[in-house]
């Protein structure tokens, strides 16, 4: 029997703090008019204070998706977080989200493919499901790029915003869900959009700080040219792979980077009607890998996708990377009941925090208690072999 992966939950979260073009024009040499006409962006959301991070945004979006699916966090087999602004190089942000949700049965890992990351993660989740390695997978796109842009560089700081979107994919025997995916990369363009320092190639130093190498660097024009080409090509390819035509597509949800990129690639190159393209970048800016799941959530909530509809999700980003997925929207899902909401939000998520705290404390107590013993073990394993090659007495 064939196995399919269907989207049964979706959700988003954006920080409350709104940063308008007007405010930006008081910070750098730019104007509302320039930003609107060159990008289509009017405002964006940005995290406010240390308590808001990529993981906290991801967790809020994940909770909303679980509510929509009517599932407890313990139903998840895997959590994939796509992000270019993880909490740390390691551990994975996905593990922090897993702990916060109390998803005690789930594996968790991060995926890095910049703005194409969400569609890459969707393809990975689909693969896990159809190969019967998982039944229920959470895919999250989450970013706090406001922490990585140089707020004095007008070429980049006007473009990006923060946010998170999440979906839940589940195994199904009913045809539909993810029907085809196209994933591509071209590392020869890696330098066109990058964060040069902070990794193993250029570890942080006074010099990298002085040069601003810990900020996003971008050749905007080159990225623009690349984006308009690959968005159209990837859309065409994924539609063909699914055995459909562009006329069958009810909605294209493109990566929300720049209105001109969407107009050039989707509308002019593909001759696709503007009414069947979903755009919300005017309110959020480019939220990188979060932009497609945020747009998908808003499109569904606005009734732009109905059961049986075909939609294309298509993105591009640093790497260079590009990715497209063709999905068939599933049947309506029953929403979470009030008592489930009460149980999960008031009790389960709080209990998860307590459980996490308990495990941390227990680990410390164990470490303290066994410290003496571990020192003896360490001595046994690090003591040098005797010159005659014989083991010392007592070392088996
Ligand atoms: N305000 C005012 N003027 C500006 C600003 C600004 N914020 N930014 C640049 N300018 C100036 C430039 O300095 C330039 O001035 P000059 O002619 O005197 O040198 C002029 O405006 C025109 O600049 P261009 O680079 O030609 O502007 P363009 O029309 O190409 O738009 C933009 C720039 C918006 C960055 C565009 O190239 C773009 O959107 N590129 C794609 C970027 C993108 O999508 N990146 C994200 C990829 S996804 C990911 O992986 C994160």
- Ligand 1 touching residue 356 (CB < 6 A): no
For the cut 50, the answer to whether the pLDDT of residue 395 exceeds it is no
Q: Where are the alpha helices (DSSP H) in the chain?
A: 21-25, 32-39, 54-69, 93-101, 117-130, 154-157, 206-211, 220-241, 259-262, 281-284, 291-301, 338-341, 349-382
Q: Give the pLDDT band of residue 393 (cuts 50, 70, 90).
A: very low
Q: Give the pLDDT band of residue 1 (cuts 50, 70, 90).
A: confident
Indicate whether 322 and 260 sit together in one domain.
yes
Indicate whether 313 and 367 sit together in one domain.
no
pLDDT of 333 = 74
Domain span at residue 356 reads 337-384
Indicate whether 62 and 18 sit together in one domain.
yes
Distance 285 CA to ligand 1 centre (A): 14
Distance 218 CA to ligand 1 centre (A): 9
pLDDT tens per residue, range 302-356: 999 999 999 999 999 999 999 999 999 987 777 778 888 787 777 888 888 899 9
- Average pLDDT on 131-150 reads 98
- Ligand 1 touching residue 288 (CB < 6 A): yes
Between residues 367 and 91, the one the model is more confident about: 91
Residue 15: closest CA among 163, 148, 143, 165: 163
Indicate whether 288 and 363 sit together in one domain.
no
Distance 248 CA to ligand 1 centre (A): 35
pLDDT tens per residue, range 229-261: 999 999 999 999 999 999 999 999 999 999 999
Indicate whether 273 and 203 sit together in one domain.
yes
> Within a domain: residue 200?
yes
Distance of CA 89 to the CA centre of its chain: 15
Indicate whether 349 and 306 sit together in one domain.
no
Choice among 21, 95, 126, 286 that is catalytic: 286
- Please check whether residue 144 is in contact with residue 53, taking contact to mean a CB–CB distance below 8 angstroms: yes
For the cut 50, the answer to whether the pLDDT of residue 396 exceeds it is no
For the cut 60, the answer to whether the pLDDT of residue 297 exceeds it is yes
Cα–Cα distance for residue pair 345/384, rounded to 1 Å: 56
Indicate whether 227 and 103 sit together in one domain.
yes
pLDDT tens per residue, range 26-77: 999 999 999 999 999 999 999 999 999 999 999 999 999 999 998 999 999 9
Q: Whose CA is nearest to atom 26 of ligand 1?
A: 221
- Average pLDDT on 152-180 reads 96
């Amino acid at each position: 029997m064939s196995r399919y992966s269907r989207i049964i939950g979706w959700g988003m979260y954006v920080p409350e703090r709104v940063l308008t073009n007007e405010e930006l024009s008081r910070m750098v040499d730019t104007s509302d008019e320039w930003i609107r006409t060159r990008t289509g962006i009017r405002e964006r959301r940005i995290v406010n204070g240390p308590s808001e991070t990529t993981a906290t945004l991801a967790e809020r979006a994940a909770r909303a998706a679980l509510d929509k699916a009517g599932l407890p966090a313990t139903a998840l087999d895997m959590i994939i977080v796509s992000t270019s602004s993880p909490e740390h190089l390691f551990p994975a942000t996905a593990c922090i989200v897993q702990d916060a949700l109390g998803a005690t049965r789930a594996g968790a890992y991060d995926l890095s493919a910049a703005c194409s990351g969400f569609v890459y993660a969707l393809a990975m989740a689909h693969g896990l499901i159809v190969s019967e390695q998982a039944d229920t997978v959470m895919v999250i796109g989450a970013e706090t790029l406001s922490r990585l842009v140089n707020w004095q560089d007008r070429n980049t700081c006007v473009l990006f915003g923060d946010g998170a979107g999440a979906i839940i994919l589940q195994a199904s025997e009913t045809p539909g869900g993810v029907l085809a995916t196209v994933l591509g990369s071209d590392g020869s363009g890696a330098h066109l959009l990058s964060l040069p320092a902070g990794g193993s190639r250029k570890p942080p130093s006074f010099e990298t700080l002085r040069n601003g190498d810990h900020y996003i660097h971008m050749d905007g024009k080159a990225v623009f040219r690349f984006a308009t080409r690959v968005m159209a090509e990837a859309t065409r390819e994924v539609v063909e792979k699914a055995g459909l035509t562009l006329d069958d597509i009810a909605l294209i949800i493109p990566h929300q980077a720049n209105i001109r990129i969407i107009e050039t690639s989707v509308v002019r190159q593909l001759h696709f009607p503007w009414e069947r393209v979903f755009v919300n970048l005017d309110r959020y800016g480019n939220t990188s890998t979060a932009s497609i799941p945020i747009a998908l959530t808003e499109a569904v909530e606005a009734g732009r996708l109905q059961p049986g509809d075909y939609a294309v999700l298509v993105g591009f980003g640093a790497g260079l990377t590009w990715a497209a997925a063709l999905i068939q929207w599933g049947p309506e899902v029953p929403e979470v009941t009030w008592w489930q909401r009460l149980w999960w939000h008031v009790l389960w998520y709080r209990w998860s925090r307590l459980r996490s705290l308990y495990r941390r404390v227990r680990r410390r107590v164990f470490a303290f208690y066994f410290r003496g013993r571990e020192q003896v073990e360490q001595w046994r394993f690090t003591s040098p072999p005797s010159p005659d090659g014989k083991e010392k007495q007592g070392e088996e």
